[in-house]
Chain A
């Protein structure tokens, strides 16, 4: 495996789940929990004749960023599309619950220094949602994860990181939306029903999944950034994600709460306003929304580098 320094400069998009997990925390600080050597494979896949993986397609563990313990969950999209089943779902829930327990302990031991030592949960999503081979257990895991998020609220931040090939779709699109903070690179995509499925169900006129430009400006990070559905848009290096995470780790809990998109009556009203606006406007393309929010020439935005984009893009005003 690459050294931490090599990983730091490497592309996040091309990195494996384990490389991402190691590179998003301080050098030499990552300890994997339930790694491949523990051989916790899915009991459901062999009976269906599907290949298994020793870590069930998910890397879980703990590292540090400064004084903050960072609980990392990193999904591997190459294994059955990063889908969530019983074992990796359990690993995910277990890691978040562990972070909660550690938060309680730190608060007790260092009541005056909690903010500086506060743990954080970081989830690198690369998934299409539920693993259909073990659908009920996978769905249950989604629910348990969202439940655990709620228990973490106002105690420790839960951060969603998206920037890998598969993106974050299906039920996990909901889960990502329920986190406190979302960090994406340009290649990152979040959605519910994936482009291919929309095309298959509703036809090419509704959504042409082979039109990559259309797919990216509908589900991609620039669109999410303008709509305030993602909080940080960063360059495609593991270091860029690490730096954004370090910034989030030091924010106050009030600031973290202010970055959420859902989770209170006020936030739901804000979302409903967007639904109403879209109903009234009937946009034909994401660019219509970009124009509405003050981008006079929306067609130039997809071509801009992240640096240029961050300088000129106008975002929806929150509230």
Chain B
């Protein structure tokens, strides 16, 4: 039982990148996760890398991430997630929070 890495790619019809060069949110606590978002020229795509100890939920990750990308119209962003058994709704909430943090005005990193 080793950690597994999942990689996904999404393309939204009207993608918008983030304000900051990069942004971080959350802690890999039990039932929680951390998100690192980085502005990158990916021809409008979103690349997601998930590192998780949970096995067998690849489709759920795919669906949740797809929902996030379509709901928020994200593009040209690389997302890295360290997960420790977060439920899908926690994943969605943290992604929305991370996006808000990444678009926060003023405090440019």
A residues adjacent to B (C-beta < 8 A): 1, 16-17, 35-37, 39, 41, 45-47, 49-54, 57, 76, 78-79
Enumerate 28 A-B pairs (CB-CB under 8 Å) in ascending A order: A1-B101, A1-B104, A1-B107, A36-B36, A37-B24, A37-B38, A41-B82, A46-B2, A46-B3, A47-B2, A49-B1, A49-B2, A50-B3, A51-B3, A51-B51, A52-B3, A52-B28, A53-B28, A53-B34, A54-B34, A54-B80, A54-B82, A78-B27, A78-B30, A78-B32, A79-B27, A79-B28, A79-B29
What's the Cα separation between A39 and B27 when bound, in Å? 14
Asked if B88 is an interface residue, CB under 8 A from chain A, the answer is no
Contact check, B53 vs A50: say whether CB atoms are below 8 A apart: yes
User: Closest CB of chain B to A61's CB: distance in Å?
Assistant: 13
What's the Cα separation between A312 and B78 when bound, in Å? 57
Q: B52: which A residues are within 8 A, CB to CB?
A: 51
Contact check, B22 vs A37: say whether CB atoms are below 8 A apart: yes
Closest to B5 in A: A46
B residues adjacent to A (C-beta < 8 A): 1-3, 22, 24, 27-30, 32, 34, 36, 38, 51-53, 80, 82-85, 101, 104, 107
What's the Cα separation between A50 and B2 when bound, in Å? 8
Known: A37-B36, A46-B2, A47-B2. A53 touches B27 (CB 8 A): yes
User: Closest CB of chain B to A58's CB: distance in Å?
Assistant: 11
For the complex of A and B, list the 4 residue pairs with the smallest distance between their C-beta atoms, beginning with the closest: A78-B29, A51-B84, A49-B1, A36-B24
What's the Cα separation between A46 and B101 when bound, in Å? 28
Q: A45: which B residues are within 8 A, CB to CB?
A: 3
Known: A1-B101, A79-B27. A52 touches B2 (CB 8 A): no
User: Closest CB of chain A to B82's CB: distance in Å?
Assistant: 6
Q: A47: which B residues are within 8 A, CB to CB?
A: 2
What's the Cα separation between A140 and B83 when bound, in Å? 28
Contact check, A35 vs B24: say whether CB atoms are below 8 A apart: yes
Contact check, B82 vs A53: say whether CB atoms are below 8 A apart: yes
Q: A17: which B residues are within 8 A, CB to CB?
A: 27
User: Closest CB of chain B to A3's CB: distance in Å?
Assistant: 8
Q: A51: which B residues are within 8 A, CB to CB?
A: 3, 28, 51-53, 82-85
Q: B85: which A residues are within 8 A, CB to CB?
A: 51
What's the Cα separation between A78 and B3 when bound, in Å? 19
Contact check, A36 vs B2: say whether CB atoms are below 8 A apart: no
User: Closest CB of chain A to B50's CB: distance in Å?
Assistant: 11
Known: A36-B24, A46-B3. A54 touches B29 (CB 8 A): no
User: Closest CB of chain A to B46's CB: distance in Å?
Assistant: 18
What's the Cα separation between A51 and B51 when bound, in Å? 7
Q: A57: which B residues are within 8 A, CB to CB?
A: 27
What's the Cα separation between A51 and B85 when bound, in Å? 9
Q: B51: which A residues are within 8 A, CB to CB?
A: 46, 51-52
Contact check, B34 vs A36: say whether CB atoms are below 8 A apart: yes
What's the Cα separation between A44 and B107 when bound, in Å? 34
Closest to B101 in A: A1
Q: A37: which B residues are within 8 A, CB to CB?
A: 22, 24, 36, 38
Contact check, A54 vs B101: say whether CB atoms are below 8 A apart: no
Q: A41: which B residues are within 8 A, CB to CB?
A: 82
Q: A78: which B residues are within 8 A, CB to CB?
A: 27-30, 32
What's the Cα separation between A78 and B107 when bound, in Å? 25
User: Closest CB of chain A to B102's CB: distance in Å?
Assistant: 11
Q: A79: which B residues are within 8 A, CB to CB?
A: 27-29
Q: List 7 other contacts, CB 8 Å, given A37-B24, A57-B27.
A: A1-B107, A39-B36, A47-B2, A52-B3, A52-B82, A54-B34, A78-B28
Q: A16: which B residues are within 8 A, CB to CB?
A: 27
What's the Cα separation between A16 and B80 when bound, in Å? 20
Closest to B29 in A: A78
**Which of B29, B52, B83, B101 has the most C-beta atoms of chain A within 10 angstroms of its own C-beta?**
B29
Q: B27: which A residues are within 8 A, CB to CB?
A: 16-17, 53, 57, 76, 78-79
Q: B38: which A residues are within 8 A, CB to CB?
A: 37
